[in-house]
Structure 1
């Protein structure tokens, strides 16, 4: 029970961050790159854990897709950010690291639940971030990246929600 309440607190913290992306203050190009990079790193690292720790074939299959799609998106983000003159962080944010630690602490069927719940929260956050970026970033390359990637993230979000129940 303690694990679940800690996980829920971290998920709530991430959800609060997603809500910030919809606030009146537009997101800057650098903020978008920083947040998108952190989310992408979280997706890959948590999914690598799921490949070895998940008990359900569905979670492992989802993890494979997350690794493939997010490694590709991370490379595209790096290219767009480089062209925009923005440095891409190589470490995830403290919030994403805390969520990764929570997922990693779960075992067995609890791992599967924690992983899928984290995927829902992370994709809710990403959809809000990328939606805001399609309207708010100034650099055309970053905007094009956000517009191209948003439908894929929405698809991931729906899949995660469907399988987190």
Structure 2
């Protein structure tokens, strides 16, 4: 099961970011699902982790990804782009479920592995929309989120 947890995040996002520019609604939906996944998986790991680094990181993920969701929703409202309430896609939901089946250090390790991949995917989404998006307010939000996600990746590489 752990192998699935490590490999499955490779397809967290169905849209091949490099192949096409997302339309504004796709960007808002994808960014929202990504943030929700980060928050939900972090809440799961906080239930059992005893590792202070994992605990601190998970708490920060909840805070930062709540803020990025709010930033994207505000930008969408400003641009009059629909911003549906974020939902997990089926793979993200499965990953959270699988994370719940792990315990202790195994859960922490699975969480960190998932976070590394999901943050790289989130960075790809944000960078792509920041560079090629069609709605200025959403592009600005994406540009603001990029360095935050990059800082998360740097932290994860130290874990």
Task: Mark yes or no: TM-score above 0.5.
Answer: yes
What's the Cα RMSD here? 1.6
- The residue number in structure 2 matching 1:150 is 146
Q: Which moved more, 1:86-95 or 1:43-52?
A: 86-95
Larger relative helix fraction: 1
Report the alpha carbon displacement of residue 154 of structure 1 after superposing the two structures with TM: 0.7
Q: Which of 136, 139, 151 is residue 132 of structure 2 equivalent to? A: 136
Unaligned runs of 5+ in 2: none
CA contact (8 A) 2:6 2:110 kept: no
Please report how far the alpha carbon of residue 4 of structure 1 lies from its aligned counterpart in structure 2 after TM superposition.
1.4
**Aligned to 1:20, what secondary structure does the other structure show?**
coil
Aligned partners of 1:18 and 1:126 also within 8 Å: no
Q: Deviations over 1:89-118 (max 9, x none)?
A: 331111211221121211111000011111
TM-score by length of 1: 0.89
- SS, match of residue 119 in structure 2: helix
Checking the alignment, whether the CA contact within 8 Å between 1:11 and 1:118 is kept in structure 2 is yes
Match for residue 5 of structure 2? 7
Please give the residue correspondences for 1:1-165 in structure 2 after superposition, counting only pairs within 5 Å. Answer: 3-14=1-12, 17=13, 20-23=16-19, 25-84=20-79, 85-163=81-159
- The DSSP-based 3-state class of the residue aligned with 1:64 is helix
**Separation in 2, partners of 1:58, 1:9:** 23
Which segment drifts farther, 56-65 or 4-13?
A: 4-13
